[in-house]
Structure 1
Amino acid sequence: MTNPYQSQRPAIGQRADAAQDIVYRWLKQYVLTLPSREGTFLTEAEVCRETGTSRTPVREALLRLEADGLLQIVPKKGAYVPPITETEIEAVMQARGLVEEWCARQAAGFGDMLAAELDRLMARQVEVQHDTVAFIECDRDFHRTIVRAAGNPVLADFYESLRDRQLRMGVRAITISGGRGDSVLAEHAAIVEGIRRGQPEQAAAAVAQHLARTLVALRLPIAAGWGSVAAERSPAVAAQ
């Protein structure tokens, strides 16, 4: 509810809230787009230097990100950004499969109308293919458009809750897998074709194939043994 007296609050409080929000957004973007195969530590001093703010908004922003589950504050060491685990990858991709395949079947009924919107999003994705983060953001918009078109607000809200994990995983997949961007565009085109033809099973099958190939790309670092390196650097392991 709008507070009619909000404009009368002290300016210093407004500046403090604004500083915290700026640091929070900067940190969240940094964490979500971190393609590192290993866990990373951040200190308050480092974040202060990067954002040009004092320790108080940095500390509050770190606590917010910890509440979001994106990092772990370790006393006397800093904020630990954990690596993406195989368990997390499997869980998120299973959830995506359940939601997106069902939604593709429902959305196929919109045919040309939805396909035209997806074509526009794909064209934008081609334009930003050189920018990994922007490419994955477009990827998210593409899939979210299909989910929303299915008309189930409960599933749409649940899907939104996966956004942060999808962004971080998507950056990882594109960064590590050479040529994955071109493959993603081709797989998206197959999904659009099923929708344009009004073929629910064709659209769902194209989504399933796309997610299966994405899962393969996400598993590459684990297959190469990178997970063991990250585990060795985990604060939980170090404390044992």
Structure 2
Amino acid sequence: MTGTQAGKRTENAQEIAYRWLRDRVASVPRSEGVFLTEGQVAEASGISRTPVREALLRLEAEGLLQIVPKKGAFVPPISDAELRSVMQARSLIEDWSVRRVAEAPDTVLGELERLLGEQEKLLADPVEFIECDRTFHRTIVIAAGNPVLVDFYESLRERQLRMGLRAVAGSTDRARGVLTEHAAIVDGLRSGSVAEVTGALDRHLERTLAALSIPDPGVRR
């Protein structure tokens, strides 16, 4: 094996370990914390310790876990203050994005309708349901055409997944409510009414806060 081939193999292992750990972190309910060790992760993922160590360092740099000497990596709970900050950031980005998309909704309506159908099939799988939920919103943000906002929105991914799990895990009532709220956003875009679609988005985010049992900190503008 050449040095280049070995380097690619190591790089691939690091990326696989990173994605495995990222998804593991995302699956931890936001109100809970958990310790992960290199050995446990290596055994569970089937990846050697070195790529796992690099992946843990990368996730620490992204602020998603804390490496504690001699103990492992701690995935901390997401505090109420952090949740509020994320929801406020989402509100600002998604409101601007949906207003832009409302100017030419035909570019995304087909994909959003497809995602609604896909999400309905995932009611019994909270992790995949929330991932599909995030894809729904991300599709609107991408369609708005601002790559800087897209990059920032991507940085919220794991926090969104963990928050969403708390909202829908253990009950399909909130999940079905999400589907109804998403359908209202699609209807608002289809109508071409900025007031209708932003109203639907506001109600969706407010109800998400309510499902998380967090008082509304002023997400609405």
With normalisation by structure 1, the TM-score equals: 0.81
* 1:157, distance to aligned residue in structure 2 (A): 2.7
Deviation string 1:108-127 (CA, Å, 9 cap, x unpaired) is: 12245533331111111112
Provide the residue aligned with 2:97 in structure 1.
Answer: 103
**C-alpha spacing 1:131/1:62, structure 2 compared with 1 (3 Å):** same
Provide the residue aligned with 2:166 in structure 1.
Answer: 172
Measure, in 1, the Cα distance between the counterparts of 2:110 and 2:46.
44
**C-alpha spacing 1:53/1:121, structure 2 compared with 1 (3 Å):** closer
* 1:217, distance to aligned residue in structure 2 (A): 1.6
In percent, how many aligned pairs have the same letter?
57
- Secondary structure in 2 aligned to 1:41? strand
* Residue 34 of structure 1 pairs with residue 34 of structure 2: no
Provide the residue aligned with 2:76 in structure 1.
Answer: 82
Provide the residue aligned with 1:140 in structure 2.
Answer: 134
**C-alpha spacing 1:144/1:90, structure 2 compared with 1 (3 Å):** same
Among 176, 181, 190, the residue aligned to 1:182: 176
Q: Aligned partner of 2:194: which letter?
A: P
With normalisation by structure 2, the TM-score equals: 0.88
Measure, in 2, the Cα distance between the counterparts of 1:109 and 1:92.
26
The root-mean-square deviation of aligned C-alpha atoms, in Å, is 2.2
* 1:48, distance to aligned residue in structure 2 (A): 2.0
Structure-to-structure mapping, 1:109-128, within 5 angstroms = 109-128=103-122
Deviation string 1:17-37 (CA, Å, 9 cap, x unpaired) is: 332222221111101111263
Tell me whether 28-37 or 192-201 shows the greater mean CA deviation.
28-37
Unmatched tracts of structure 1, length 5 or more: 1-6, 223-240
Unmatched tracts of structure 2, length 5 or more: 216-221
* Residue 92 of structure 1 pairs with residue 86 of structure 2: yes
Among 195, 198, 201, the residue aligned to 2:195: 201
* 1:153, distance to aligned residue in structure 2 (A): 2.9
Provide the residue aligned with 1:48 in structure 2.
Answer: 42
* 1:148, distance to aligned residue in structure 2 (A): 2.3
**C-alpha spacing 1:103/1:42, structure 2 compared with 1 (3 Å):** same
Measure, in 2, the Cα distance between the counterparts of 1:154 and 1:140.
18
- Secondary structure in 2 aligned to 1:179? helix
